[in-house]
Structure 1
Amino acid sequence: MSRPDISKSLARFMDEAEALGCIFFSVPQNSLSAGAVLQHAIRRVEVLFSKEEPLIFKIGWTHDPIWRWSNSIYGYKYARDCWAGMIVLFASHEPHGPAFLEAALIEKYQSNLNVRSGGDTVKEDACSCAAAVRVARDVVSDIGEVAASSSGGLSALASCSDGHLERDSHRLIAKQLKLSLPVPISMLAGTVFPTLRLRDWMDFLIHRNCWHVLCGLVRPDADREQATLREFWHRFQQCHPDHEVFRLVDSMKINLARTAPLLYHGDEGRGRRRTPFLVTSFHGLLGRGIRAGLQAQAKAGARKEYTKLKPNFIGHSYTNRYLQCAMPKKAYQDDFVFDAMLENAAAEAEYMWKSGIRHRHTGAKYWAVVLNVTGDWPWLVKAGNLGRSFSHAIKNLKKLKKPPAGVCHKCKAGQLEHAFECMESRNPSWLGTLHVQSPFLDPPSPLTSLLCTRSQEADIFAYDLWHSWHLGVGKVFLGSALAMLSNRFHGRSVHARFAGLNSAYFTWCREFSHPPILTRLQPSTIEWEISTNYPKGSWFKGELTTTLGRFVRYMTSGGSNESPMMDLVGEACAAIDSCIRGLYEGDAFLPSETATQIGEQGLRFLRRYSALADMALQFRQALFLIIPKVHVLQHVFLVDLVLAADRGPWVLNPICYSVQQSEDFIGRNSRTSRKVHPTQAARRTLERHLVLAYRKYCDAGLLVEGRD
């Protein structure tokens, strides 16, 4: 575009753009053909990708660039915090050329979008039953009844009753077409709410030749399944020699070679109108591993073991999680219903170790033992009816009216004589109070009847490392670390300094190929609009904690930090990254030497964190807040790793109790609940889950469609 070819307003816009230094004009000559213009645009975009990846981008065109730039409603000129750069690829006096160029570029680069082919407006595969029936009726009316009758279900779907579309369509899909898992729906005792019993799930797995899923295997292999389970229980006995399951073995009541270890999980998702929606499930403790661990072992050339024992993190959550109940807040806020759900879980667990399931054809008997209850801390408190938890942390000693109950259900930490904040100690006072005082309120939770080491029932309720670090202490620690790091950058305000920190973060992400996850790093990211507030990460993605931790570690490495506090921050980042990485790269059982090394790195982090909190208090800075979850980390690092390693050759990896995969399971079922009528949400969610899970079992090769 030459100056004589454009208007004064457009020339003024170009002058403003050049002055900004972030808008570039790369317009081809007017004489080029349409194909040459397209090739020019593609080359320019590819060059941009090679220089700036990863990046978020948008392709678009406007018929009025002056208005799009300068209007005060949504003009780019007044939204500078929403974009970092702009390239003008083509300009024309008519609208058709830019429109076709935009369509061609979007078609080429739409694979870069995290959406289905067709654009943002294309909906997911799921739709309402009413919509499916409506489409079926339209098709039948178009092709006729005779042609529709040969389609295998089309006519039946079109004939569903208008008043019972969900019920009739489910009967068609599940009972006639057999496109649902054959797991019967039962009722919670004394209630009108449905459940999927554990015994029915185990019966399905056994008779559909899917037992190997509970052993962490890809395909059925009876000998390998038994060898794997036998080895698991051998190592588990070395960790927990007094567990009740081994008394059953001594009395010849179960065969551990055909006994699967299970966990019970529960948590709330987001239901209709953002109301809580509870989802509970069982899942195997053993699985196919963690992707990070498999990659690390492959890189190291580790030998593949015949009896591999790995955590359960790979595969679609519908194929390795077994739904028990799904109900809205209105249902389970009644204590009677919630207790009935827990009693059902405990009764089913008892049935599986006491009676088991006998294979109808081979006569072989299979058992399952629910070892632990997992989930975030609020779920453990509610499911266990615990009297000691994070909610009893002392907030103000001067206003204390009665002795505090304590913050930990396994020990007396948080009581007056046993402070949970002494995380720098290798021998805290609470260490001698493990299992001394019962944490259970009356009446005790039905889940306390699960098999365990008697007098240590509190260990049934296992802490979750993912919520404790990635969505807990990690957010608090990194919030303070980023607040301190922002002071390295020039600026008279917090926002100005964070602009420099944001630039450094995205540069680091590009250089080391880390997905930034964030669109912008700013004070609101750590809830630090006012420096007198304790900073804390506002994100809800655990992966971001890992990424930001490695960024802070990079920024504090090299030994040229501006203060001793920044040196401690760097040492803390290195220690916790080594610890968490070691856990994720390990198998279900860690050799005692490895467990000691990992635990020591975790304790090193806690000592640095404690020192940082002391220094912040000394300098009167609102940084490095100590929250009850630091005690959870100390329990994991000190008790579950370092001290456990002294008792035997193997240590059960605490990562087995982490709930990332179960959180995905909860999210999926919660979304399903938002697509059904609220009065029937509990039953319809179970019904739809069985239909959706059937498809995932077929996709995974666990079932053969049309035969099962």
Structure 2
Amino acid sequence: MAKAGHLDMLVEDWDMVPKYWAEYCQEHRAHPVARLFFYVAGFRGDWKALKQVFNFDRRQGIKNCSLLQVCWKCSATKGSHDVADVACAFTDTRGCARFWADLHTQCPWKYLPAYATLPGFEISAIVPDLLHVWHLGVGRDVLGSSLAIMLSNGVFGPGSAMNKLMEATNRLRRFASSSGYSLRLKKLTKNKLNWKQRCYPELKSSGYDTFVVHQWVMNELHTFPESLPADLIACLWASNHFLSIWTNAGRWLSPAEHANVKEAGKIFTQAYCALAKKAARDQVRLYKVRPKLHLLHHLARQETRKNPHYFATWMDEDGLKKLVKVLKLSDARSAEKRLLQRWLLGLPDAWKQ
């Protein structure tokens, strides 16, 4: 399995493995045979893949009993159905919010998934995917609203919207080139920003482009610090802070890194929800709020020091597409078991290669 690359995410330096076994054998010469035990530390995948793998009956817009529950980890809801639904709205950023009392205590599925029968399985092992939660989710909303406000405030010069977008594109390209970032986003347009009437701004970009645009907007704020509301600047700073910690830290966060992430995550969620509430009162379409914001809240305030960066599907998109296709063609009551059986059947060929 090691030679096939299946354990690359578990070991950072493979040169240390032979040294470890040499030292282990010297200390335990009376026991030449070692018995190894493995257990699942976490499951990863985007929301659609996880829903199908674990038979989730709670997801965006799916009714569960009388509530619109949107999270498999707790009882958070959309807050738009009835009194009980509003009481557990995921936009409640308080530490005493009602849904935190149900954390990892409910079974979020109708049919027991095969993975749940594995020894040591816990619901807490199902980890939200950072790529889809931030880079393809909340980050797009934050940056879309930021750019819409910057364009309206004249940060990219006077003139028509087309001229402003052209100037913004040129600045973005120069920043990416000078910083050594690759950029798939050809140009910024109204369509790319979803800048339309009766629509919330959203940057339609790839995951990596979301990172590049985030860094560029932060750089522009050095020149135009008054171009954005203070709470939005706090959101940009806080998100950049905890994302940088996750990206540069090891598999396990240090106590200081863990505390920093929790505090920065708290600042972000409170500031962003405050902006969204103000925009709703002013009847302005800015700061879109989606259930992925709640999953980001989970990642930021989790008690474990496991780094969620290592559970993101950075290189797994093609594999997930094939996996979801197989699950769609199978009965929900046996889909997970069939998936595991197909994986086991393919292992011998993978090892031969």
Fold-level match, TM-score > 0.5?
yes
User: Does the CA contact (< 8 Å) of 2:39 and 2:120 recur in 1?
Assistant: no
| Amino acid of the structure 2 residue aligned with 1:620 | Q
| 1:444 equivalent among 109, 112, 120 | 112
* Aligned: 1:659 with 2:313: yes
| 1:433 equivalent among 102, 110, 122 | 102
User: Does the CA contact (< 8 Å) of 1:403 and 1:416 recur in 2?
Assistant: no
| 1:629 equivalent among 280, 287, 292 | 292
* Aligned: 1:218 with 2:31: no
| 1:365 equivalent among 32, 35, 42 | 35
* Aligned: 1:499 with 2:169: no
Alignment match, 1:591: 254
- Output one character per residue of 1:532-574: Cα deviation in whole Å (capped at 9) or x when no partner: 31122222x21111111111112223574145x2x33222111
CA distance in 2: counterparts of 1:498 and 1:393, whole angstroms: 41
Please state whether the residue corresponding to 2:75 is helix, strand or coil. coil
Compared with structure 1, are the counterparts of its residues 518 and 403 closer, same or farther at alpha carbon in structure 2 (3 Å cutoff)? same
Alignment match, 1:535: 201
Please state whether the residue corresponding to 1:590 is helix, strand or coil. coil
Residue 469 of structure 1: how far off its partner (Å): 0.5
Alignment match, 1:465: 130
> RMSD over aligned Cα, in angstroms?
3.5
User: Does the CA contact (< 8 Å) of 1:475 and 1:538 recur in 2?
Assistant: yes
CA distance in 1: counterparts of 2:72 and 2:226, whole angstroms: 40
| Amino acid of the structure 2 residue aligned with 1:521 | L
Residue 664 of structure 1: how far off its partner (Å): 5.8
| Amino acid of the structure 2 residue aligned with 1:501 | A
| 1:508 equivalent among 169, 175, 179 | 175
Please state whether the residue corresponding to 1:372 is helix, strand or coil. coil
- Output one character per residue of 1:60-103: Cα deviation in whole Å (capped at 9) or x when no partner: xxxxxxxxxxxxxxxxxxxxxxxxxxxxxxxxxxxxxxxxxxxx
| Amino acid of the structure 1 residue aligned with 2:199 | N
Please state whether the residue corresponding to 1:391 is helix, strand or coil. coil
* Aligned: 1:478 with 2:143: yes
| 2:59 equivalent among 385, 389, 397 | 389
Alignment match, 1:417: 87
Residue 516 of structure 1: how far off its partner (Å): 3.2
User: Does the CA contact (< 8 Å) of 1:388 and 1:409 recur in 2?
Assistant: yes
Alignment match, 1:407: 70
* Aligned: 1:568 with 2:231: yes
Alignment match, 1:523: 190
Alignment of 1:317-356 (within 5 A): none
CA distance in 2: counterparts of 1:627 and 1:508, whole angstroms: 30
User: Number of aligned pairs?
Assistant: 319
| Amino acid of the structure 1 residue aligned with 2:275 | L
| Amino acid of the structure 2 residue aligned with 1:614 | K
- Output one character per residue of 1:259-281: Cα deviation in whole Å (capped at 9) or x when no partner: xxxxxxxxxxxxxxxxxxxxxxx
CA distance in 1: counterparts of 2:234 and 2:214, whole angstroms: 11
Residue 525 of structure 1: how far off its partner (Å): 1.3
Alignment match, 2:45: 375
* Aligned: 1:555 with 2:220: yes
User: Does the CA contact (< 8 Å) of 1:486 and 1:500 recur in 2?
Assistant: no
CA distance in 1: counterparts of 2:157 and 2:223, whole angstroms: 21
Alignment of 1:256-335 (within 5 A): none
**Bigger relative contact order (CA 8 A; separation at least 6):** 2
Please state whether the residue corresponding to 1:612 is helix, strand or coil. helix
| Amino acid of the structure 2 residue aligned with 1:662 | D
CA distance in 1: counterparts of 2:294 and 2:178, whole angstroms: 36
Residue 219 of structure 1: how far off its partner (Å): 3.7
CA distance in 2: counterparts of 1:393 and 1:668, whole angstroms: 27
Residue 215 of structure 1: how far off its partner (Å): 3.5
User: Does the CA contact (< 8 Å) of 1:480 and 1:535 recur in 2?
Assistant: yes
Larger Rg: 1
CA distance in 2: counterparts of 1:495 and 1:602, whole angstroms: 35
Compared with structure 1, are the counterparts of its residues 525 and 227 closer, same or farther at alpha carbon in structure 2 (3 Å cutoff)? farther
Residue 597 of structure 1: how far off its partner (Å): 0.7
Show structure 1 runs of 5+ residues with no match.
1-201, 229-256, 258-361, 395-401, 645-650, 671-681, 695-708
Please state whether the residue corresponding to 1:368 is helix, strand or coil. coil
User: Does the CA contact (< 8 Å) of 1:374 and 1:463 recur in 2?
Assistant: yes
User: Does the CA contact (< 8 Å) of 1:211 and 1:220 recur in 2?
Assistant: no
Compared with structure 1, are the counterparts of its residues 571 and 623 closer, same or farther at alpha carbon in structure 2 (3 Å cutoff)? same
Residue 666 of structure 1: how far off its partner (Å): 5.4
CA distance in 2: counterparts of 1:227 and 1:655, whole angstroms: 31
| Amino acid of the structure 2 residue aligned with 1:538 | K
- Output one character per residue of 1:601-627: Cα deviation in whole Å (capped at 9) or x when no partner: 122122221122123223321111100
* Aligned: 1:602 with 2:265: yes
Please state whether the residue corresponding to 1:218 is helix, strand or coil. coil
- Output one character per residue of 1:12-34: Cα deviation in whole Å (capped at 9) or x when no partner: xxxxxxxxxxxxxxxxxxxxxxx
Identity %: 21
CA distance in 2: counterparts of 1:416 and 1:669, whole angstroms: 35
Please state whether the residue corresponding to 1:635 is helix, strand or coil. helix
Compared with structure 1, are the counterparts of its residues 219 and 461 closer, same or farther at alpha carbon in structure 2 (3 Å cutoff)? same
Bigger strand share: 1
- Output one character per residue of 1:462-512: Cα deviation in whole Å (capped at 9) or x when no partner: 211121001111111111111111122345643232122222222333443
CA distance in 2: counterparts of 1:412 and 1:494, whole angstroms: 43
| Amino acid of the structure 1 residue aligned with 2:132 | H
User: Does the CA contact (< 8 Å) of 1:410 and 1:435 recur in 2?
Assistant: yes
CA distance in 1: counterparts of 2:314 and 2:272, whole angstroms: 25
- Output one character per residue of 1:433-473: Cα deviation in whole Å (capped at 9) or x when no partner: 213432221x31111112336xxx32232211121001111
- Output one character per residue of 1:641-695: Cα deviation in whole Å (capped at 9) or x when no partner: xx44xxxxxx11122211113236558999xxxxxxxxxxx99x9699849x83x
